[in-house]
Amino acid sequence: MNIDFERISELITKGQIEQLQEQTNQAIETGTEPAILLNKGLLPGMDKVGQLWRNGDMFMPEVLRSAKAMSKAMDILRPHLSKDDMGSAGKMVLGTVAGDLHDIGKDLAGMMFEGAGYEVLNIGIDQPNEAFVNAAIEHKPDVLGMSALLTTTMPRMGEVINSLKESGIRDEMAVIIGGAPVTKEFADEIGADLYAPNAGSAVELTKQYFAQNNS
């Protein structure tokens, strides 16, 4: 059976949860490779959502509905993906820094990493610096992701990195930061390894980073 990946992407951008669940189930039942379904259908759909949102062509309630649709489709896909040899990507600790309650972008980033086979430990919003460091000590992630949406909370990211250094574990993980006011220059300034302008590019940049640094 031919799977219409464009239709699946469209169901994500339109946030049509039930139809997306149906199509995802059907695709799996008819033998579509989960990784192909993810990469050709679901992720392009979410990329489009990001684009539409950035251009002001989509509004928050719609973005949330699309994110929910993605999440529901991922629930169907996940057990099949784990059986797949997608290259077990690694572990990620992810959170929004202290004083900051924004979580939509962080959660989207988390979903993209999950979709790419990462085990994502999402520690939530308004997380004190120690919470990141403690989670890093406890879970030994390959990637530590921080989100900040306020110019007033961005400095917490540099503080977390300094605390990681003080704890002697900074070099054991890649630190990736994101959020609307965050820039590549800021990431360089505070010594983060990676900055991603959006959730769609975050996984790709992380893969490139590990490919370069493990060779």
Nearer to ligand B12, 27 or 109 (CB): 109
157 binds ligand B12 (CB under 6 A): no
3-state secondary structure the chain: CCCCHHHHHHHHHCCCHHHHHHHHHHHHHCCCCHHHHHHHHHHHHHHHHHHHHHCCCCCHHHHHHHHHHHHHHHHHHHHHHHHCCCCCCEEEEEEEECCCCCCHHHHHHHHHHHHCCEEEEEEEEEECHHHHHHHHHHHCCCEEEEECCCCCCCHHHHHHHHHHHHCCCHHHCEEEEECCCCCHHHHHHHCCCEECCCHHHHHHHHHHHHHHHCC
45 binds ligand B12 (CB under 6 A): no
156 binds ligand B12 (CB under 6 A): no
Nearer to ligand B12, 73 or 106 (CB): 106
Please identify which residue in 37, 100, 132, 193 interacts with ligand B12, judged by CB under 6 A: 100
Question: Using CB under 6 A, which of the segments 20-28, 75-83, 114-122, 142-150 binds ligand B12?
Answer: 142-150
Question: At 71, which amino acid appears?
Answer: S
108 binds ligand B12 (CB under 6 A): yes
Minimum CB separation of residue 181 from ligand B12 in Å reads 4
Binding mask 59-98 for ligand B12 (x = CB under 6 A): -x--x-----------------------------------
Nearer to ligand B12, 38 or 196 (CB): 196
Minimum CB separation of residue 125 from ligand B12 in Å reads 7
Of 127, 115, 9, 107, nearest in space to 64 by CA: 107
Size of interface with ligand B12, in residues (CB under 6 A): 30
- Give the tokens for residue 60: 């928050």
Please identify which residue in 151, 165, 188, 208 interacts with ligand B12, judged by CB under 6 A: 151
Nearer to ligand B12, 74 or 180 (CB): 180
150 binds ligand B12 (CB under 6 A): yes
Cα 76 to Cα 85: distance, rounded to the nearest angstrom: 17
Tokens 């946030």 correspond to what residue? 15
Q: Which residues bind ligand B12 (CB under 6 A)?
A: 50, 53, 60, 63, 99-106, 108-109, 145-147, 149-151, 176-181, 196, 198-199, 202
